[in-house]
Amino acid sequence: MNIPNLSLSVAESLLRSQSAKTGARAAARPQFTVAISREVGALGSTIAREIGRRLECPVYDREIVEKVAEDLKKPASEIRDLDERPTFWIEDWIIGLARKDIVSADTYLRHLVAAMRGVAELGRCVIVGRGAPRILPPERTVRVRLIADRADRIANISKQRQCSERDAAEWVDRVEKERTEFALRSFGADPADPHQYDLVLNTSRLSVHECAEVVIQAFLRMEARAGQQVALVKPGGS
């Protein structure tokens, strides 16, 4: 029996419906977003905060998880267990038999997509991880992938988590695997595929400031171009 990927079908349906609803508003007033995908330990959150500071716009990283928890009226700690982690439909079914109040992976995914689309519609913002480059409309999103040498990523995590490099290496490998499987099961996309992005930046070669500068310049140019295109199609535009 071929069991369908429930999360993927839910995501595709949501993306189609959200695109239809927001299409008219996008044509009238383009709102641009930076969506960051990152390897574990590649300083994704740090660079996102720097971009947000310089653009003077909000940054959503774990804040997205907190928003989903608020919408579901659940403790954030419960939702974090689902954050960027793969689950199987059979796991949801078995757990659901035991606990009727449990949040399923598909419920989490629906609210995740809605939360990301919602904050992106409010105006300029930066969203980190959780399939954002896949979820948000490419015509209004600067899609960024941050990578780094494994040794540098391990060193970053060791410093961040205040643990040994051995423990950091195990953590990097485990979380990277979880994030990859989450993206594959939820959106049918490997986050390591460079064709999904407008920019791929190596944080072993570029500083936080330099990465932020590259992203901001691309963001401003793409935002300006979109605004010009909207002006051209308005009645009476020349």
Q: Compute the distance between CA of residue 230 and CA of residue 173 in angstroms, rounded to an integer.
A: 44
- pLDDT tens-digit map of 40-65: 999 999 999 999 999 999 999 989 88
CB 125 within 8 A of CB 60: yes
Q: Who's near 126: CB < 8 A, 6+ residues apart?
A: 33, 34, 36, 48, 51, 52, 55, 57, 58, 59, 60
In degrees rounded to 5, what are phi and psi of residue 147?
-130, 170
CB 33 within 8 A of CB 212: no
pLDDT of residue 26: 43
pLDDT at 81 over 90: no
Question: Cβ of 154: how many Cβ atoms within 10 Å?
Answer: 22
The share of the chain scoring above pLDDT 70, in percent, equals: 76
Q: Whole-structure pTM over 0.75, yes or no? A: yes
pLDDT at 205 over 90: yes
Highest mean predicted confidence (pLDDT) among 21-35, 71-85, 127-141, 202-216: 202-216
- pLDDT tens-digit map of 23-32: 444 445 568 9
User: What domains sit in the chain, N to C, each tagged with a CATH number?
Assistant: 7-20+31-221 (3.40.50.300)
Contacts by residues 190-195 (CB-CB < 8 Å, ≥ 24 positions apart): 191/37, 191/145, 194/145
Question: Cβ of 84: how many Cβ atoms within 10 Å?
Answer: 19
Q: pLDDT grade, residue 226 (50/70/90)?
A: confident
Mean pLDDT of the chain: 82
pLDDT at 220 over 90: yes
Query: Average pLDDT of 110-131?
Result: 91
For every residue of 140-185, which 3-state class applies, written as one string? Answer: HEEEEEEECCHHHHHHHHHHHHCCCHHHHHHHHHHHHHHHHHHHHH
Query: Average pLDDT of 72-101?
Result: 61
pLDDT of residue 97: 40
Q: pLDDT grade, residue 16 (50/70/90)?
A: low
